[in-house]
Chain A
């Protein structure tokens, strides 16, 4: 037995070495052929992969017929599922899709993606995605050079953008410093205040969004007045300070970096005081977003019942619905929610889709990206995404709905959700998109936000003074990111 085991081990070790050797070899081969790509792409490759809505004026692009695998990198299974759907709709889709999913938790996705893009070769991603917190790095920052311009993928960008009425901030963020569009998001992520109808009735006698929006805003003064009223009846207004942070972060005028130096926007600095006020008043359950206690508040299982959350449509569908403790009205908090205009207008999140400039499957990559982001027809992804027909769970007639970036699609879509007591959420979310902006983002957001929110927690927990928290924040940014501070 031992001998067999040791032989097996030796074989495995040799195999590993052999395979790594092979891997290296193919990578170099691939690199060599990438260098020769311009010559190949002019070859008349007769590859007609599908009959997707291809703009006629677009320059003709083709796939390299020798490639059989399409590499896809993403941080959730959302886009991979879209491509499964695309494959199902196109039975003659000739490629095997190799999917790599790495969660953004702990910042693991970016380093891995960076290395895959830098290494190139046969395993380099053909399509990859970037989340709002770091998309600028891939569209305008250090990594924008890896992405292909949509027009080089055979997409008639100017006409398609106009026809689909894509929200301007979505295309602003996706435009590289050379002025070419290289990324688009399929969602629009303007935010709302999402509140419990039963608590609204208990405190103010009505759950009408038109009334509640005047209670929680506009402006933080009204918000805290409402918080005090809620507190008097034993309710918290939000779950944790992360809830107000996302609306503050994304409603501030400027981002973390201005003229190459760290900049603390007055609105972001005010977060210190607002957070302290929340904690001192006992207006929240002091949870941290994406932690167990935060999810628990969505079904009212926390220390005190929580009135509401700030978030875009995706928070309702992908986070709150699943954590409401029920799947149909009457169960848990399902159906007990409604949305209204937030205290301050903001946007949060979104997934931008990019194609690798070195991809050999330019036509297919272009077709898929076009189908996901710009196709406004009833069979395009945007329409299915908005109307809940993308994936319909068993026993239901309609799946989750979401706001999409295309205004054209939104106009012909219906956002009624039984989770929201049949409120049409698009009535609130579509105007909310107007407050979305790409101008207050930087490629360092994920790292700097982590440091900032840690220091704010230190301050609100009474561990250091306000000035000390700001000083330590600046110091840590300088130490870890080498960014100049005052």
Chain B
């Protein structure tokens, strides 16, 4: 009798049980619950019973018409863009330096750790730190500006719409460029080194190799970066919430997530509207991610696949023709 081979697959399932359970309880269930209460009248702290609204989209309508919600989505987009562009450029530059075969930077490990450090500090600490730095009427930032003679009067950074937005963007950028850099470096290390060797032999300069080999080969990693950063950016909550007291000067740093939080927890407990706003945000993120995936898809690979399909079709067709001919 032949011995049955051992199946290792079941261990895979066993080991994934904790995650699946945690996901079902802490992620999937709340998501479904949120979707449902967006269509109900659930409002108020001690209330637990709810019924569906006669006009199921009433909450969604109210949110879309809410001027603060519109401001919050604009703010979110602006803050994310101001933070992401310098962040990815800086990360790319550092990646190019750290992975260059010509420059052997000493103490790379130490640099990577130091650059990654801001990401480890909790948002609450960062918020307090920057709050102190940009204090008014006296604070380190104002001291520097005044002693350099850039401004006679102290600047109320957190009471000016644009400085508040810029500082929040800067904090985001400063917190995340190290992480982005690490991901990009791992992406570069995954590129076949023969490509670089060949380029070097053909006399390509460092910058040429970077733009013609590194960047195109990083496309999947870049897509990953973009999508995760987009999702993270549109959900931005902790720094805007903690740094400038809820919504900043005149709602200047009110992000969509802070808006949602305010709907639910700032006093009126409008869980239904908060849920509706969350669903709207979810749809927006899904659409934007879809657009990113589509525009960043590997065009040559898609072309290759098409070509292959066409060839197979042609081959099948010719086979059929041959068979038919044989019949005749």
Contact = CB atoms under 8 A, between A and B. Distances in A.
Interface residues of A, number: 47
Interface stretch (B50-58, B228-236, B261-269): B261-269
B250 A447 contact: no
Contacts of B263: 480, 482
Interface stretch (A39-47, A283-291, A394-402, A415-423): A283-291
Contacts of B21: 17
Interface string A89-115: 000000000000000001100110010
Nearest to A10: B15
B187 interface: no
A296 to B, nearest CB: 7
B304 interface: no
Interface string A239-274: 000000000000000000000000000000000000
A455 B248 CA distance: 11
A296 B138 contact: yes
B141 to A, nearest CB: 12
Q: Is the interface of A mostly helix, strand, loop or mixed?
A: helix
Interface string A1-36: 000000000100110010010000000000000000
Contact of B45 (A143, A285, A461, A483): A143
A8 to B, nearest CB: 15
A178 interface: no
Contact of B249 (A137, A444, A458): A458
A481 B22 contact: no
Interface residues of B, number: 40
A475 B68 CA distance: 8
A285 B250 contact: no
Interface in B1-51: 15, 18, 21-22, 25, 43-46
Contact of A461 (B68, B159, B262): B159
Interface in A443-457: 443-444, 446-448, 450, 454-455, 457
B137 A285 contact: yes
Contacts of A285: 137
A482 B44 CA distance: 12
Nearest to A134: B267
B246 A302 contact: no
Contacts of A458: 159, 249-250
A476 B137 contact: no
A13 B18 contact: yes
Contacts of A303: 137-138
B268 A444 contact: yes
26 contacts: A14-B18, A106-B246, A107-B246, A110-B265, A114-B45, A143-B46, A286-B156, A287-B137, A292-B135, A293-B137, A293-B138, A302-B137, A443-B267, A444-B268, A447-B262, A450-B246, A454-B250, A458-B250, A461-B156, A472-B250, A479-B68, A480-B68, A480-B266, A480-B268, A482-B270, A483-B268
Given A454-B250, A457-B249, A476-B251, 9 more contacts: A137-B45, A145-B46, A302-B137, A447-B267, A448-B267, A461-B156, A461-B159, A482-B43, A482-B268
In order of increasing CB-CB distance, the 3 nearest A-B pairs are: A479-B68, A142-B45, A447-B267
